[in-house]
Structure 1
Amino acid sequence: MNPDDELGAELRRLFDDERLDIPPAAGAGNAIVAGARRRRRRRTALAASAGVLTAAALVAGGLTVARQEPGTQQAAPPPVVPPVPTTTVPGTGPGPVVVPPSFPEVTPPPTPPPALPPATSPPARPPVITTRPPPPPSTSRTTSRPAPAPAVLGPVGYGKLRLGMSFDEAKATGMLAHDDTPPTGCVTYPLTEGTANIASVTISPDGGVVVFTATGARTPENIGTGSTVAELQAAYPDLTGDGGDYRTTTRSGGEYRFSVGSGGTVVNWELVGSPDC
């Protein structure tokens, strides 16, 4: 039995069903069968047309790819297939399904990464110049050492040497220079320290040390070379003399003798014992 006969038999069975209250019109079955056949033929023709259109689209796509420049690939656009209308007749199964032919998918070439800008070295930073404030002025004070106190020729002598000391006693102090010759009269001896303070010491065989001739040394009252007459009179109220020679006694029994020059100042002075040379 062919499909048309099966369809007709099925339709007759449906129409002959007692559950249908309305009896079909005469010739209705033949009309329905004829309409179903027409729709089936139309569906078949549309499916064939779709296959032809698909083949034509594939051929056109192949030609387009072949015309492109070498090394460039483009994916062919998918073919446009018109929809195929389908009609389902009650009591019949769906019509044949037309599956469009498949074609291999053309993978587009990978997109190259964007070109990086040429590497450039970072701009050189300007040198950092650190300005330091100038150092503060030195606050250190120049410490000037006070002038050493002048050597003192007192009323009894100088250092270890004393008025009236014998030659041997003076020699024992170690302050006499050229002490290998004992005095046979009044003899002057320089000191081992030099002549900056005392020029010489006079020693006699009988009186011992009798004279200290001063240079840079001064009296305990700060009188010495360069002192004025007024300073002499202020330091020694019992000062006597005139014409350039002045004297004042000391508590040791000796005396200071001052020679004043034309400028009115002391030019040399001595401590003299008694008796002197």
Structure 2
Amino acid sequence: MNISEDELEQRLRALFADERLDLPPPPPDAGTVIVAGARRRRRRRHTVQAVAGVAAAVVTVAGGLTMIRLHTEDGTAVMSADGTGVSVKPPENLTQGRPPEPSTPGPTSTQSIQATAPPGASTRTPPRPSSTPSPSTLADVTSGPLLAADGFGKLKLGMSEADVAAQAVTLSDAQAGASCTVYKAQGNGVPAAASVVISKAAGLVVVTPDVAVHTAEGIGAGSTKDQVLAAYPAAKEESGDVVAPAGTTAEYRFRLGETGVVQTSLTSATQDCAG
């Protein structure tokens, strides 16, 4: 539809002349109302910020309270909220109408604290250590040469007279018996002179050194009977001596005196000679 410019202008004039498009005049207090609304919005914003700050403070205090430890056993309160400790203890002897008595300073690091038993409690005196040491606390005997479980130096149980002579050991002072002979053995092949018994059938069966010796288990001159029994649980007493196994084919014979062991011999378990 084509509208001429005159007709379009008339319609626009009629439209602009319509009273319904007129804006009502603002009320007289419009400025006051606008300023009051702006103030209300500003107060709301400040209130929200304050509430947020209080909430943050509450969270911080709640986190610190989780670090509080109360010691009610001795009336002492210890609080630690930021890594530092504060100890508070109420004054003792505090009664109504009576001022607190001055407290006695506690012991310093250089003072000793002696515990006092409560009334009615039984006191026990600690047992005093025995003046006699136990066998396990006595030192092992290591003085003198070693009398091993199989012989003395190069002398070995079971050797014949020829074998003994081949070990640079000289046999002298022979005392012949029916089946065995007693000799004095000495030389480079033995640590010290010794009395030996050689059987015609079994060879060397007894070695008794003339000096104080010790065994590999630490038993020797001066060892007590209890020490011998502790070192050799299978030992037994025979005619005042203590006989202890030395390996599977030999045994030690310890002669005891007032000071303990005074002589040690090594004997073969299978022999045909006396003692």
Q: TM-score, normalised by structure 1?
A: 0.41
| TM-score between both structures, scaled by the size of structure 2 | 0.41
